Structure 1
Amino acid sequence: MLACAPFAGAVHAADAPDSGDTARTLDSITVVAEREPGNFDLDRGEIELTQASDLSDLLSNESGVAVGGGSPVAQKVYVRGFEDTMLNVTIDGAQEPAELYHHQTRVQIEPEFIKSIELDAGAGAATQGAGALTGAMRVRTRDAFDLLRPGQDTGFLIKGAAGLNGGNSSKGVLAGYGRLSDHLGVLATYVYQDGGDYEDGHGDRVKPTAFEHERAQFKLSGVFDAHRFDLSAEHLDDTGTYYERPHMTNFTGRYILSDHQMRRDTVSYEHRFDPEGDAVDARFTAYRIRSSYENRRNTTGILYSWGEQTSTGMDLRNTSTWDALSLTYGLDYRGDRLHARQQATPPPFWGRTEQTARVFGAYAQGHWTLSPQWTLSAGLRYDDYRHEGKSGVSAGAKNSQAKASPNASIQWTPIEPLTFRLAYSQAFRGVTIREAFFSALYTHRGDLDGEQADNLEFGVSWEKDGYFARATAYRQRIENYISAVYDGGAAWGYWENIGTAKVEGYEAEIGKRWQRMGVSVGVWNSDNTFNDRPLNDADLGLGTSIGRTWTARFDWQPASQQANYAVRARLVEDERNSIAPSAPDKPGYAVVDVMANWNLLGDDRLKLGAAVNNLFDRFYYDHGTYGYQAGSGRYIGFPSPGRELSLSVTYRF
């Protein structure tokens, strides 16, 4: 939760080595919007403390967020009840647009070398990027200067980790880093994780959920007076043997095990130029991403489906400041190309596709301090989309549309501890490439309208003497939502505008921070509907209904500053299941996680970490998991893992 972010930074400051490079102050980036509850910023200390190995470990205890799926490869992120397919996700500035296969996530994140994760929920500032219908999540990774200790020119990191649950899991981490000169640093990392089939809260083995994960990265960083750059190359590889839909059991009795492989290769370059003076603070980002998947029958090796999407993009922006005014303005571009094939349907409907899409955007976001009591922020984006079917099931189809997206917010502080904020934003996403598997099955006619989101928020915050209380109420609509619709005629189906999605909800938190301790309690609730009916688990790609969620946090660091201890808890209330009139409610559940780490040698060279997730071994289905199916009258999704003990040892030298 946001309110704990300042405290978490203080607690973990002892764990963050100072590289001794004064030029590191270039890391600061201007933020033109006040953070509200639900807009969090996870730092490196929090990530290490949670012993995070996947998305659920990272995000499940954050306000406004749910993670469902079971196996890490099938996990999906829900922000205010909407799927991450409508969320702009960037890693080191590189946008991750590729949707691959069913419930397998495009948000492939390896926690080991993440520096921070920021989430701005809801359509917002123009700087969020093109098509940010439900907000933006920005992931930053570490570099050599982040890992080097004072006075150190070269270093190595070795880490071993284990998760004790069911078939257990193990992870090995290697990293080498150093200074090539006073201004250049290089980092090379490798991570391998072998995860076994886990056990649920009843002690039953959940199969098939085992996986293998590999991640490698090379990063060259430079700091030269007013210039700073990062050149990064990253490779991710996930493999496993699952049923046709990796987030579901073999509920039909005829699903065939398939060998699944997902890969992502990213090359990105970021350059920052921040000379003395207020007129120029420029940043340029360029990237190329290739994401692919392949599913083959486990018994025969016959192809079930395959897809590869490449994305090439750039973002050029500058921030100028004049006394009470700060203005960020820039241009961005992304071009996508998809090749996909599916042989999952009866042979007459086997299909393939080649599609291209591009979006060009121009934007500006201003932030004015009108007086000590009043602050105004306003911005505008203009995005031009072009989509074309080159061959296969959508050959010859073309979609194009351009639209402006304004936003404005005003903040009033009548007395120093109390602040009110009112914000309205729009976001536009034109027709672009959708899920690779469905793109080889469903046809484009070329007559689609782009999706249009608007978001209205009201927030209030109060903070004094370490006590804080914050709340946000929001209402958002997404019009012209695009989805695949089954036809059953000459074509299997078509992409169509099928209606309007809405969400109304609130988030709130209260707490207290001391020098070495912090506590907070929060609640969030989102009522999501589509065409005036509640969302349910069958609304794949859009979202689902999630029960009102209560969260609690406790953090403590002893006076020695050589350890950190924390408790995270969440209570999710029952939620009515609208998937069928006879469907039972989604059952509520309560989960408690405890975690700690220790610096064993009095500094950060040797660190021991431990966490117990689901301490009381509760059996439950996360509300973000496809649970009950009306047709079978059964729960066909995977239950969440039961109690798991995670241990890690990290040595830096």
Structure 2
Amino acid sequence: MQRQTQFSRFLLVTVSALALVTASDLTVLQAQEVHNLSEIVVSGEQEADNQAMESDEVIGEEELNVLNAQTVQDLFAATPAIVVAGGTSAAQKFYLHGIDQAKVNIVIDGARQRSGVWHHTSGDIGIEPAFLKQVDVKSGVSPADAGPGALAGTIAFETKDAKDLLLPGQTMGGLISAGYQSNSSTYQVTGSAYGMHDGFELVGIVKHAQGSTYKDGGGHEELGTDPDVWNGLGKLAYESDGGHRFSLSAERFSDTGLRRLRADMNLNGAVNYNEHTNTRTTVTAKYVNTQGGGMFDPEILLYMNRNEIERPFGNYARYSGDFNSDMVEFGGKAVNKFHFALGTITAGVDFYNNHIDLERFYSKDTLDETITNIGGLVQARLKPMDRLEISTGIRVDFQSYDAVDGQAFDNVGFSPNFSASFEILDGLKFNAGAASDFGGLEPSEMALYASASPYSYAANLKPTRSNSFEAGLSYQKDGWTAAAKVFHTRMSNPIAYDYTNWPASGARVNGADLVSSGFDVSARYDWANAYVSAAFTHTDVKYDGKVSGLVYNTSTTVGDMLTLQGAYTFTDLDLTLGAKSQIAFDIDEPSLGTPDDLEGYQVIDLFAEYKPEKMLEGFTLRADVTNLLDQKYVARGTRLNGSRWEPVHSPGRSFNITATKKF
């Protein structure tokens, strides 16, 4: 504990000193060059360099098109630092370097996504990959303006705008797409319309997927996995000639069906089912100045995020079997980016108010709790010399937690961060960073206070704090992109659950230290019409000094993960052929408590895409073969095999076809 306190103080002093130096430099600049202040802007290239330093991986439009993801598991199939549990969308929670998504700051179009409805499910983060323009992944060290609670890092999802969908030269357009997956006999249809005119922009997209239960690689039906998913996205924006941009966005994700009571496992050889409806509704309103510079470059965001789970009363006579939960969060931020000679400083405030209502059918009562967080932040992104880039900042958060048992907890914490990148040789950079993040009290798992009676909090509950460090090299030149880094994150006082007298009683308490450490290595080479890539991650996760299995809303076992990718375009034929492979290596660790070793697996996917732009502009025909070898496997991140339960296996081989036409 003393070591972690010293680490936090060191970071705080370092960041404060740099902020004072930067502020004094800015004051001198203002005094000497007031008449030119509005002309002092950071070039787009320099700003992009600083932002790139703060990202481990950006999954952009090109990568998203190659992946052709239908689920979150597909979306991160080529990102070994993230593992995603198998099964339906209700079970596909993900882990960043082995740390549960509940400890990751997740945002969709800037709207914070709370996680932790139930450790057996992803619970409340339904994501439609077809709507995405970009995914930005940053583990460990996150900037202050990324938002609160970034204990293990940040993942930011951004959805498409009209300009991302329009064909060259278009001002209005539409899209229709139809697809079929053979394994689960799933049909999916997508329709959209979009346009831009006199500063106005409009986007409307609807997607529906419906099918049957899928089979694993052994030919066994995984019951309760038949999809019935409706997704919609609507956007309206206006941008004036002066760059004042106002935008509204609304997205809804809905998954309905007969689902396993525990979406990630069977218990004691039996499968309990519930009618289950999971919906996410996200609404955002945003203002930015796209021509901002000098001392005026604002961003104002307001959002509402609502997550509902409906599980009508069935035949499972326990608290956790049947309940309805309604979680609503209002939040926002107001920041301004100040441009000057050395770079930029972003300063502002953000907030959220999260309220949960829970209706329990078994005990015929209701429960609720409320969490409010207000934060102030400053982040400097500087380039003091040609080869050196620095990003450093600090945020302070006040959290008020009105718990379900009637107690109230108020906590305040600072979160400093520092990252630097130095170009050693042309294209070769050394990168390093450190951060100490205040996490407050992590929101409780709603299903647990649905399952225990009474549910209480330890009076001496302490806020969680994480200390992270990373260092490595990156290289980008002549078609080559490569990176290697080591990482280490230690969380103190993570929130745990005392099962001593469960279900008669139970309490939220502070758990043992949670540590994630390891290294990432990746390399890619691009030709004009082809690329090959490889990425490897080694992750050790320990809880209380022991190798961590799947700990409720905390962590999972990862070990060694390798992904391989490649594609080649025959330009004369308008045809692209590609393949990717995800390899998980065996883990032999007695402390996991599983009856067998954690078996590795290799999943190979192939695709062919025909895109005759000259003959039929906007038309794409794509065929995929997923899990080519029809391997029966349990995806990393899924509940481990145990003496009382069996995990859900991922889908076996499937032949998929999709036809898309833009007009």
Identify whether the pair has TM-score above 0.5, normalized to the shorter chain. Answer: yes
SS class of match (1:370):
strand
Mapped contact 2:78–2:580 kept (Cα < 8 A): yes
Match of 1:638 in 2: 648
Shift of 1:343: 4.7
- Structure-1 residue corresponding to 2:392: 378
Bigger shift: 488-497 or 207-216?
A: 488-497
Q: CA deviation at 1:491?
A: 4.8
Percent sequence identity over matched residues? Answer: 24
Q: Select which of 433, 436, 443 maps to 2:443.
A: 433
Residue of 217, 220, 235 corresponding to 2:233: 217
User: Residue 405 of structure 1 contacts residue 426 of structure 1 at CA under 8 Å; is this kept in 2?
Assistant: yes
Q: For the Cα contact (< 8 Å) 2:468–2:489, is it kept in 1? A: yes
C-alpha separation in 2, matches of 1:450 and 1:31: 34
Are 1:146 and 2:128 matched, yes or no? no
1:73-126 deviation digits (Å, cap 9, x = unpaired): 211111101111111111111111143233221321011221111111113211
> Which residue does the alignment assign to 1:91?
108
State how far apart, in whole Å, the 1-side matches of 2:524 and 2:432 are: 23
Distance in structure 2 (CA, Å) of the matches to 1:543 and 1:123? 18
Residue 562 of structure 1 pairs with residue 562 of structure 2: no
1:232 to 230, 238, 249: 249
- d(CA) in 2 for partners of 1:490 and 1:147? 52
Deviations 1:237-283 (A, max 9, x none): 11121221111124343x53211111112211121114454322211
Q: TM-score scaled to structure 1, two decimals?
A: 0.89
Shift of 1:457: 0.3
2:371 to 354, 357, 380: 357
Matching residue of 1:177: 194
| Aligned-pair CA distance for 1:469 | 3.0
Tell me the alpha carbon deviations over residues 380-404 of structure 1, each in whole angstroms, 9 at most, x when there is no partner: 0101100013xxxx34211110111
Taking the aligned partners of 2:617 and 2:144, their CA distance within structure 1 comes to: 40
2:269 is the alignment partner of 1:269: no
Deviates more, 1:238-247 or 1:500-509: 238-247
Q: Which string of whole-angstrom CA distances, capped at 9 and with x for unpartnered residues, describes residues 462-502 of structure 1? A: 33322343200011101100022224279521111111100
Code of the residue aligned with 1:383 in structure 2: it is D
**Unaligned regions of 5+ residues in structure 2, if any?**
1-42
Q: Provide the secondary structure at the position in 1 that maps to 2:90.
A: helix
Which residue of the partner structure matches residue 279 of structure 1?
Answer: 295
| 1:56 aligned partner, one-letter code | Q
Following TM superposition, by how much is the alpha carbon of 1:579 offset from its aligned partner in structure 2, in angstroms? 5.6
Q: What is the Cα deviation at residue 564 of structure 1? A: 3.2
Range that drifts further, 200-209 or 124-133: 200-209
**Alignment check: 8 A CA contact 1:508 1:522 kept:** yes
> In 2, are the aligned partners of 1:266 and 1:289 still within 8 Å (CA)?
yes
Q: Give secondary structure in 2 for the equivalent of 1:381.
A: strand
Whether the 8 Å CA contact 1:68–1:624 is kept in 2: the answer is: yes
User: Which moves more between the two structures, 560-569 or 325-334?
Assistant: 560-569
- Give the secondary-structure state (helix, strand or coil) at the position aligned to 1:557: strand
1:472 to 477, 480, 485: 485
Q: Which moved more, 1:397-406 or 1:574-583?
A: 574-583
* Residue 517 of structure 1 pairs with residue 530 of structure 2: yes
Structure 1 residues 199 and 489 mapped into 2: Cα distance closer, same or farther (>3 Å)? closer
CA distance change for structure 1 residues 644 and 401 in 2, over 3 Å: closer, same or farther? Answer: same
Q: Which runs of 5+ in 1 are unaligned?
A: 1-24
For 1:566, the aligned partner's letter is: G
Separation in 2 of the partners of 1:365 and 1:213? Answer: 40
2:217 pairs with 1:204: no
* Residues 530, 558 of structure 1: alpha-carbon distance in 2 compared, 3 angstrom cutoff: same
Quick check: 2:86–2:634 contact (8 Å CA) kept in 1? no
Q: 1:14 — aligned with what?
A: none
The aligned residue for residue 599 of structure 2 is 587
Q: Is contact 2:89-2:126 (8 Å) kept?
A: no
* Amino acid aligned to 1:175: S
Q: Secondary structure at the match of 2:130?
A: helix
Instruction: Tell me what 1:611 maps to.
Output: 624
Q: Is the 8 A contact 1:547 1:588 kept in 2?
A: no
Conserved 8 A contact 1:337-1:357:
yes
The amino acid of 2:178's aligned partner reads: G
Aligned ranges 1:398-417 → 2 under 5 Å: 398-417=408-427
Deviations 1:215-248 (A, max 9, x none): 1222102221311222012222111212211111
Q: In 2, are the aligned partners of 1:215 and 1:235 still within 8 Å (CA)?
A: yes
Amino acid at match of 2:397: D
Distance in 1 (alpha carbons) for counterparts of 2:594 and 2:128: 40
1:535–1:578 Cα contact (<8 Å) kept: no
CA drift of 1:69 comes to: 2.8
- What secondary structure, in the 3-state scheme, does the structure 2 residue paired with 1:407 have? strand
Q: Distance in 1 between matches of 2:53 and 2:617?
A: 31
Matches of residues 61-100 of structure 1 in structure 2 within 5 Å? 61-100=78-117
More divergent stretch after superposition (481-490 vs 116-125): 481-490
Residue in structure 2 matching 1:420, options 395, 405, 430: 430
SS across alignment from 1:73: coil
Which secondary structure does the structure 1 equivalent of 2:511 belong to? Answer: strand
Give the deviation of 1:406 after TM superposition. 0.6
* Residue of structure 2 in register with 1:307 after alignment: 325
Separation in 1, partners of 2:575, 2:53: 29
Residue 567 of structure 2 aligns to a residue in which SS? strand
| TM-aligned CA distance change 1:299 to 1:26, over 3 Å | farther
1:517/1:241 Cα in 2 relative to 1: closer, same or farther (>3 Å)?
A: same
Aligned length: 613
Greater Cα shift, 366-375 or 87-96: 366-375
Distance 1:580 1:58, change over 3 A: closer
Establish whether residue 448 from structure 1 lines up as the match of residue 461 from structure 2.
yes
Paired position in structure 1 for 2:154: 136
> Are residues 1:51 and 2:63 paired?
no
Q: Does the aligned pair in 2 maintain the 1:144–1:221 contact within 8 Å? A: no
- Of 618, 633, 643, which aligns to 1:620? 633
Matched residue type, 1:58: L
Quote the offset at 1:209 in angstroms: 1.3
Supply the AA of the counterpart residue of 1:464: K
- Per the alignment, residue 288 of structure 1 pairs with 304
Distance 1:555 1:454 in 2: 39
Deviation at 1:365, TM superposition (A): 1.0
Kept in 2, the 8 Å contact 1:143–1:221? The answer is: no
C-alpha change, 1:580 and 1:54, in structure 2 (3 Å) is closer
| Partner of residue 651, structure 1 | 661
CA distance, structure 1, for counterparts of residue 351 and residue 164 of structure 2:
30
1:366 and 2:384 matched: no
2:520 matched to which residue of 1?
507
SS at match of 2:102: helix
Whether the 8 Å contact between 1:443 and 1:491 is mirrored in structure 2 is no
Measured in 1, the distance between the counterparts of 2:70 and 2:440 equals 35
Instruction: Say if 1:202 and 1:227 are closer, same or farther in 2 by CA, change over 3 A.
Output: same
- 1:536-551 equivalent positions in 2, closer than 5 A: 536-537=549-550, 539-551=551-563
Tell me the equivalent position of 2:473. 460
**Whole-angstrom CA distance in 2 between matches of 1:411 and 1:184:** 40
Displacement of 1:284: 1.1
Q: Relative to structure 1, is the Cα distance of residues 29 and 93 closer, same or farther in structure 2, using a 3 angstrom cutoff?
A: farther
Q: 1:298 to 1:95 in 2, by over 3 A?
A: same
Amino acid in the other structure paired with 1:500: D
RMSD of Structure 2 on Structure 1 (CA): 2.5
Q: Deviations over 1:129-149 (max 9, x none)?
A: 100111111111112232223
Q: 1:552 aligns with which of 537, 560, 564?
A: 564
The code of the aligned residue for 2:650 comes to S
The superposition leaves residues 177-209 of structure 1 with CA deviations (integer Å, 9 ceiling, x where unpaired) of 233x31102122211111321111112222121
Distance 2:297 2:653 in 1: 48
What's the TM-score, normalizing by structure 2?
0.87
Q: Which amino acid aligns with 2:280?
A: R
Cα separation, partners in 2 of 1:33 and 1:189, compared to 1, 3 Å: closer
Deviations 1:526-566 (A, max 9, x none): 100001011102x1211111130112111222334834332
